[in-house]
Amino acid sequence: MNKIGKTAVVNEEECIGCSVCISVCPNDAITVDEMAHVDKAKCTGCGECIAICPVDAIKLQ
């Protein structure tokens, strides 16, 4: 899997657990319980989840 150096990181204090990000991730890298979690081994840093998150809780690091 290609890596561009960064992966999505969820801000625990901002995430509201809405699960919208799961549906846009092309790599099934996100799971949500009370908040979203990103599997760094699967995330390619594509940014789709960042664009869709309604509370801007995800950043690339």
Per the listing, tokens 């990103």 go with 38
How far apart are CB 22 and ligand SF4 at their closest, in Å? 7
For residue 5, the Cα-to-chain-centroid distance in whole angstroms is: 15
Per the listing, tokens 């991730």 go with 25
Which x/- pattern over 22-51 shows residues binding ligand SF4 (rule: CB under 6 A)?
Answer: --xx-x-xx-x--xx-x----xxxxxxx--
Which of 4, 12, 41, 55 is in the footprint of ligand SF4 by CB under 6 A?
55
Which of 2, 5, 8, 33 is in the footprint of ligand SF4 by CB under 6 A?
8
